[in-house]
Amino acid sequence: MPRRAKIAWDISHLEFTIEDHYYFSILKFNIKKAGALVKEVYSFKDITDYDIVVLNYPEKPFNKDETALVKKYLEEGGKVITCGYYNNEDKIADNVNSLSSHFGLILNGDKVRDKSSNDNRDDLLIVTSRVLSYNDPVKKILFPCPASIVIRAHSVKPIVLLENPSNSKKDRVIGAEAQVGRGRFLLLGTCVFWDNFAIKKYDNLKFSLNLLLK
């Protein structure tokens, strides 16, 4: 029997919790249905007891000791999934970057729109088929209200791109992944692609489970 994946959902940095039934009951139900364990983590040092760590909209920055802990955790084969939001709300980009910048990823404080590929004619409810990883079988996902991401290291690759390039013809990255030792650090430009609204749209549920379990 394969080993049961253990997911730490951090709340030590005031993140949105998996235990919020209104927002994340569908995700939590399907994680358990897939045979994985997901648990809130109140003390950041406890992440080392888990295979995957989720930092979903951290409202506090990460200090040097926490960054060192994450680096060691990644080098030993762990996976960290960090999710931001648009407009640097609650200083989310600053808080994310206090950690992600050490792994070659920067979350911008911007607001990404797509007037031609969206849900219900709302250009902040971005829809994209350009899911480059964790995409089996994923055709399209809803990626609401994301910020864009800057890649600053050769070890980083894009995961999710805007459907249509901007006027500069340059792809806009809204999800990316860094290889760190034997582990992976993922940064996603939005934290609400897997809430109870978005997860029922397109292939969001499959994409969410792929991120957590593959």
Which tens digit of pLDDT belongs to each residue from 4-30?
899 999 999 999 999 999 999 999 999
Q: For position 90, what pLDDT does the model report?
A: 94
Structure tokens given for 60:
């506090």
Structure tokens given for 111:
């607001």
Domains and CATH numbers, the chain: 6-213 (3.40.50.880)
What pLDDT, in 10s, does the model give residues 35-74? 999 999 999 999 999 999 999 999 999 999 999 999 999 9
Across the chain, mean pLDDT equals 95
Q: For position 169, what pLDDT does the model report?
A: 61
Alpha helices in the chain (DSSP H): 21-33, 64-75, 92-100, 204-213
Q: For position 113, what pLDDT does the model report?
A: 95
Q: For position 79, what pLDDT does the model report?
A: 98
What pLDDT, in 10s, does the model give residues 189-200? 999 999 999 999
Give CA–CA dist 24/16, Å, rounded: 9
Give CA–CA dist 190/148, Å, rounded: 9
Give CA–CA dist 93/32, Å, rounded: 30
CA 57, 12, 65: angle at the middle one, nearest 5? 100
Structure tokens given for 166:
């901007």
